[in-house]
Structure 1
Amino acid sequence: MRVLFISNGYGEDYVAVNIIKELRKIDSSIEIEALPIVGEGFLYTKNQIPLLGPHKKLPSGGFITNLRILYKDLKEGLLNLHWKQWEEIKRWSKKDGYIVAVGDIVPLLLAKLSSKKFFFVSIQKSVYYTLEDDKKINIQKLSKNKAKEIAIRTYLLEYFLMRSENLLKVFPRDFLSHLILEKARINSEYLGNPMMDSLEPENKIKIDNFYNYIKILVLPGSKIPEAYYNFHLLTDGILHLLKSRSDENFLFLTAISPNIPIKELEYILFSKNFIKDVETEDYILFKNNNHVLILTHAFSDCIHHAQIGLCMAGTATEQFVGLGKPAIAIFGKGPQFTKKFALLQKRLLGDSLFIAKNPEEIPKIFSLIYNNNELLEKISLNGRKRMGEKGASRRIAEKIYQITKV
């Protein structure tokens, strides 16, 4: 059996790789290839998954939020790249096989145009984005037409592509989206959210000496140069927090994407009176009086150790919230993490995400959350509801195998 995974972004590649790993465990004879629409497919090559067709890192990183960014991508050969990728898909489709589209409309459209039977792992869209108040939705009383209206508003053109007779199954990212799609007569099944898989701690960061410290996650995002600006904002927020709570000790766990040069972040910390204290293979430790800040690539360690997050990221913030923890976001200037993006993320994550208009608001929001057990319990339940439990990659792989082996 041949299977082609098509994905369009780092988070989508992450999900695809997790499902592929599980498929290989079920049947190692499956011939699997991957086509990353955006980026160079680092996660695929790291996991020995063969790549199909051309792939290239573009200025937008997959986040085309305005005409200026689109122009930059076009200048770097966006149209030519996509045309060559489509040619590769047509070549691949001449033989028997199935396609798994992961992400949004781009891989979904390519899967539809291929004329092959396909699956769609929908991880970008959710009805939480479009519903004013999800608590007012009564699924049992919801009419088919109303469900269809919500589905079209949420998924736009994706809704019509999901009606394809070649679609074998849609796997939505949350249960409420599944219920709406199912009511709208889309072939949907909810098996959990694969973004919550492979997040087990690596134990690269030892924090035994910081048991009495308040542990804060810091996520500046993964896009350059945006991540540098975000880190400036986040460290400004950190300094305001330290000033407001001088009797506490803080440990800031800063999870850095592998593509970001740590040296650039060091310069920002030096400018704000942080002093480098320890450097190991896995992390760099800085001090500011009694407080500690760690720069590391050990993302899973950071999200498990941290109690509260200061986050200006997409998928990474969602994964942290999915562990049942609260996050605070600051409006950025983009191209990814803009005011609009933050407000949409607030809709998606609900009570688990708090919005600070500027770094000065961080201490006030922190005080609202910290040690507020009633609120933290509500946040924990909400985060797990919005993001689902781990294990979805295995269940999706099993379902794909079950359907294709019939």
Structure 2
Amino acid sequence: MRVLFISNGYGEDYVAVNIIKELREIDSSIEIEALPIVGEGFLYKKNEIPLLGPHKKLPSGGFITNLKILYKDLKEGLLNLHRKQWKEIKKWSKKNGYIIAVGDIIPLFLARLSQKNFFFVSIQKSVYYTLKDDKRVNIQKLSKNKAMEIAIRTYLLEYFLMRSENLLKVFPRDLLSHLILEKTGINSEYLGNPMMDGLEPENKIPINNFYNYIKILILPGSKIPEAYYNFQLLTEGILNLLKSGADEKFLFLTAISPNITIKELENILFSKNFIKYIETKDYILFKNKSHVLILTHAFSDCIHHAQIGLCMAGTATEQFVGLGKPAISIFGKGPQFTKKFALLQKRLLGDSLFLAKNAEEIPKIFSMIYNNSELLEKISINGRKRMGEKGASKRIAEKIYQIIKV
């Protein structure tokens, strides 16, 4: 039995790898390959998953938000790369097998074009992005035509590709999206959001030393050089919080991606009067008076131990909110984390995400959330509803295997 995973971004690779691990647990004889449309397939290589076709890191990182970024990708050989990738898919498709598209329209389009039977793990789009007020949607009373209107506005061309006879199943990222798609006749099933899997703490940071500190997550994002600007903005938010007269001691857990240059972040911290105190292979600890900031790659540790997040990221923010925790975002200048992106993310995450126009607003929003038990309970319920419980990767793998083993 042959299976090809096609994905188009770091978050999509992450989801694909989690599902592949579960498929291998079910049946180790399945011949699995992967084609990362964007990037060099770092996560696949790390998990010893064979790669198909050429792969290359492009300037956009798969996040094309304007013509200037598209031009940079084209200049670096985007069209030639996709042409070669398509040739590999055609070659792979000459034998029996199934394709699992993870992400959005590009892997979905390639899966449809292959004329093989395929699955679609839809993790990019949600009807929450489209609906101004999801609380007004009554699925039982919603007509098929109205559901189709919402689905087309949400998924655009993807919706029509999902109507393919070769599609064996769509796995949407949330229950509401599934119910809308199902209402229109799409072969959809909601089994949870696989982005919430593989997030178990690694216990790499000395959290027990800071039991009486307020723990705040810092997420500057992963795109370079935008992440450095975001970190600068977030540290301004930190300093505003420290100046606000709060008597508490703060621990800022800063989760950084492997591609970020530590030296750049250190220079920003030094300019804000943070002093490097301890450096190990797993973390670097800085102090500012009685407050502490940790730089680390141990993302799962950070999101599990933090109580509130200061976030300027995409998937990582969603995963933190999915644990039932509140996040505050500041409008950035992009190319990824812009005001428009933040407003769309607010629609997706609802009551769990708070938006600050600038770093000066952070203390006011923080004081509104912290120690407000009624609000925190509401946020906890909302986050888990929007992002789903863990275990989706296993459930999706089991469903895929149940269909293809026949």
Query: Which residue is 1:110 aligned to?
Result: 110
* CA drift at 1:208: 1.2
Query: Which residue is 1:71 aligned to?
Result: 71
Task: Map 1:288-367; keep pairs closer than 5 Å.
Answer: 288-367=288-367
Per-residue deviation, residues 311-343 of structure 1 (Å, max 9, x unmatched)? 000000000000000000011111110110000
Q: SS at the partner of 2:354?
A: strand
Would you identify which runs of 4 or more consecutive aligned residues in structure 1 move more than 4 Å?
Answer: none
CA distance in 2, matches of 1:158, 1:379: 31
TM-align CA RMSD: 0.5
Task: Map 1:144-183; keep pairs closer than 5 Å.
Answer: 144-183=144-183
* CA drift at 1:247: 1.4
Q: SS at the partner of 2:367?
A: helix
Identical positions, percent: 89
Query: Which residue is 2:384 aligned to?
Result: 384
Query: Which residue is 2:6 aligned to?
Result: 6
Unmatched 5+ residue regions in structure 2?
A: none
CA distance in 2, matches of 1:79, 1:197: 33
Per-residue deviation, residues 82-130 of structure 1 (Å, max 9, x unmatched)? 1110011001001000000000000000000000000000000000000
* CA drift at 1:246: 4.1
Q: SS at the partner of 1:180?
A: helix
Query: Which residue is 2:238 aligned to?
Result: 238
* CA drift at 1:248: 1.4
Task: Map 1:3-402; keep pairs closer than 5 Å.
Answer: 3-402=3-402
CA distance in 1, matches of 2:32, 2:90: 16
Q: SS at the partner of 1:169?
A: strand
Q: Which TM-score applies when normalising by structure 1?
A: 1.00
CA distance in 2, matches of 1:169, 1:154: 18
CA distance in 2, matches of 1:254, 1:89: 39
Q: SS at the partner of 1:94?
A: coil
Q: Give the AA of the match of 1:198.
A: G
CA distance in 1, matches of 2:341, 2:130: 13
Q: Give the AA of the match of 1:254.
A: T
CA distance in 2, matches of 1:366, 1:359: 12
Q: SS at the partner of 1:395?
A: helix
* CA drift at 1:264: 1.0
Q: Give the AA of the match of 2:175.
A: F
Per-residue deviation, residues 366-396 of structure 1 (Å, max 9, x unmatched)? 0110000000000000000000000000000
Q: SS at the partner of 1:56?
A: coil
CA distance in 2, matches of 1:308, 1:47: 31
Q: Which TM-score applies when normalising by structure 2?
A: 1.00
Per-residue deviation, residues 55-93 of structure 1 (Å, max 9, x unmatched)? 111111111001111111111111111111001100100
Q: Give the AA of the match of 2:404.
A: T
Per-residue deviation, residues 121-179 of structure 1 (Å, max 9, x unmatched)? 00000000001111111100111111111000000000000000000000000000000
Per-residue deviation, residues 178-219 of structure 1 (Å, max 9, x unmatched)? 000000100000000000000000001121121110000000
How many residues are aligned here? 406
Q: SS at the partner of 1:139?
A: coil
Q: SS at the partner of 2:56?
A: coil
* CA drift at 1:245: 3.1
* CA drift at 1:263: 1.3
